[in-house]
Structure 1
Amino acid sequence: MMVPGIVVLVFLLLCVTGNSKRFPSYIKKCSQSDSNAKLCYIKAVNEIRDHFNSGIPEFGLPPMDPLVVPEISLDSNDSFKASFKNVKIYHLNELKIEDISVNWNDNVVKIKLQLPHLRMTSDYSLQGKILFLQLQGEGKADGNFTDIEADIKLQAQRYKKESKEYLKFVTMEINEKLHQSVFRFEGLFKNNPELTEQTNKIINENIDDILEELRPPIHSVISKTVLGLISRLFEKFSTQELFLNSS
C-alpha cells in the first residue's frame, strides 16, 4: 500500500538530477561530479516536498494533500484479488530522506526514506483467500500506516539512439518495514455488520502476516509503476540533456 509514496519519491529524485527547460527555478540542479552530490539531492527533494500542497506543474505533479490515484490492483496467483479505486493518500509532505546514493558509473540509484504516517482511503473490492480468511466484499476502506522505512535500489542500463546516449531503468529492489498498520473495510458482509466488525478485528490482528503474504504482488505493482514512470521521462531526454556535466 506504499505504492504512491514510493512512486512520487523516486520520480522526484530523478527529476532533481535533470536539466529540462521546465525545471522549476526554486530547485537547485545537482552535478553528477559534485563531491557533495548527496547533500544536493537531499536538499532538492526537500525543496520539492515543500511544494507538495500546491503541486509542481513543471513536473506534471498535482497538489498532493491528498494525492489522488485512480486505481491500485493486487493479484496474488489468482487466489486473492483486490482493487482499490479513487485512492486518496495523505501525509506525503512528511516524507524524510535518510540517505541517497547515486553511482552513475554503475548506473545504480539507492534511496533510504522514512515516513512517520501515511493514510489511504479508497473504494475497495476484495475476493479470494488470504491466510485462513475467505474474503469477498466491496465498500469503503481506510488504512493507516506508521513509521514506514524503505530501502530502494534501482538499476539502469545505457543505450544509444540516433548517436545519443540514453538511460533505461530495468530493475527495482525494495525492502520496507512498517511499524504499525491498521485497516478498516466497510461492507465486508453487507447484511451482517457484526461479522464485518469481527473480520476487521481478525484482519488487524494478523495484518503483518497478511502483508507478508501479499509482499510479492505489492512489490510487483510498485516496480512496474515506478519503472514505467521513469521510462517515460528517460526516453525523452538523452543523458546530455538530463544531467549536468554529461559528455
Structure 2
Amino acid sequence: MIVILVALITMKSLIVLFVLCVCCQSVKLPLNFKKCNRKEPKWKECVFEATIDGLPQLTKPFPEVNIPTVDPLEVPEINIEGSGRVAVNQHFSNVKIFGLSTAKVDKFEFDFDKKTLVAESTFPELRMPGNYKVDGMILLFPVKGEGTGQTTMINLHVKSVLDYEEVKKKGKTYIKFVKSEMKMTPEKIHFRFDNLFDGDKTLGDNINQVLNDNWAVVYEDIEDSYTELVNRIWLSLLNGFFSKVSIEEAFD
C-alpha cells in the first residue's frame, strides 16, 4: 500500500509490503504495448508516445512483465514514526491510490550513452482513501484517532532522473535502476480524517481544518521522507518490468 497519507509525517521507519518477482528470463512485450526501435530516427518520440499509450492500460495487471494493477495501486501496510513539526506515530492500512493512470506525461526519455532515464509527469488528482491510526502532535496540536480517511493531491508534478546499469544474462541485456532523484510539487493537498478524538466532531473538524489551511507547511516538513517513499515504489515498478523485458525486446 503506497500511502500518500504519509504527506502528514516525517518518517524514521517505513515498512512497504510491495513485492515484485525479479528474474531474468526474457519475455516479450504484451501485444497492446507499443514497441520502439532505437535504429529509427524518431525512436525517442516513439518511447514517449508508447508511455502515453500504455498508462491508461494500467487499470489491470500484466503479470507476465511484472506490472501490478497501478490504478488503483495498493500497498497493504505502512508504519511511521514522526518527528519535528509533524511528530505523530501512524499506522495506515488498506490504502488505494486512484489516478496514477491519468498522468499527463511531459517527458519520458532514455539516454543509453549516459544510462539515464528522465521522467516528468503531472497527476491532475490523486485520491488516497484508507484506514489510519494516529497519535502525536501536528503543528503543536494534539492528534489522536483511528478510522477512515482520505488524502487528495491536486496537480502533483513529479520529475525524476534515474541512473541504471546494464546486466547481461543469457545473451540478453537488462536494465537495473540503481538510483533515482525525484522532485514532487503539489499545487494543493486536501486531508480528511474521520473519527479523530473518538468521534468528537468539533475537535476532529478543527484538526482537519488546521491541516488543510497549513498543507504547504506540513508538506514542506515531510517532503524528503515522502519523496523517499514514492522513489522506492517507482524503482520497484521499473525494476520489476525491466527484469523481465530486455533492452533488445523493448527497444530493438
TM-score range, shorter chain: 0.7 to 0.9
Aligned residue pairs total 229
Deviations 1:154-208 (A, max 9, x none): 1113355678654331211111221111110012211522111111111111111
| Partners of 2:41 and 2:171 in 1: CA distance | 29
Residue 230 of structure 1: how far off its partner (Å): 3.4
Contact 1:74 1:81 in 2 (8 A): yes
User: Is 1:68 paired with 2:74?
Assistant: yes
C-alpha distance in structure 2 between counterparts of 1:150 and 1:2, whole Å: 17
1:138: which partner in 2? 146
For residues 181-192 of structure 1, the aligned pairs below 5 Å read 181-192=189-200
Does 1:49 find its partner at 2:55? yes
Query: Counterpart in 2 of 1:175?
Result: 183
Aligned AA (1:131): L
Q: Is the 8 A contact 2:26 2:244 kept in 1?
A: no
Q: Choose from 240, 244, 247 the match for 2:251.
A: 244
Q: 1:202 aligns with which of 199, 204, 210?
A: 210
Out of 96-105 and 50-59, give the one that drifted further. Answer: 50-59
* 2:100 pairs with 1:92: yes
Once the two structures are superposed, residues 184-242 of structure 1 have per-residue CA deviations (whole angstroms, 9 ceiling, x without a partner) of 001221152211111111111111111111112111212222223434444556545x5
- Equivalent residue runs for 1:73-84 within 5 Å: 73-76=79-82, 79-84=87-92
Contact 1:123 1:138 in 2 (8 A): yes
Q: Give SS of 2:197's match.
A: coil
TM-score, normalising length: structure 1: 0.78
Provide structure 2 residue ranges, at least 5 long, that are not aligned to the other structure: 7-24
- In the alignment, structure 1 residue 34 sits paired with structure 2 residue 40: yes
Distance 1:111 1:225, change over 3 A: same
Q: Is the 8 A contact 1:124 1:139 kept in 2?
A: yes
Q: Note if contact 2:28-2:245 (Cα within 8 Å) is conserved in structure 1.
A: no
TM-score, normalised to structure 2, is 0.77
43-52 vs 195-204, greater mean Cα deviation: 43-52
Amino acid at match of 1:27: F
Secondary structure (helix, strand or coil) at the match of 1:217 reads helix
Distance verdict in 2 for CA 1:244–1:51, change over 3 Å = closer
The root-mean-square deviation of aligned C-alpha atoms, in Å, is 3.0
One-letter amino acid matched to 1:38: K
The one of 19, 30, 33 equivalent to 1:24 is: 30
Q: In 2 relative to 1, CA 160–81 (structure 1 residues): closer, same or farther, beyond 3 Å?
A: farther
Kindly tell me: are residues 116 and 165 of structure 1, through their superposed partners in 2, closer, same or farther at Cα, counting changes over 3 Å? closer
**Could you tell me the percent identity over the aligned residues?**
27
Distance 2:244 2:62 in 1: 19
- 1:227 maps to 235
Quote the residue 1:6 is aligned against. Answer: none
- Against the structure 1 CA distance between its residues 237 and 30, is the aligned structure 2 distance closer, same or farther, given a 3 Å change threshold? closer
Greater RCO (CA < 8 Å, at least 6 residues apart): 2
Give the unaligned 5+ runs of structure 1.
Answer: 4-18
Give the C-alpha shift of residue 2 in structure 1: 8.8
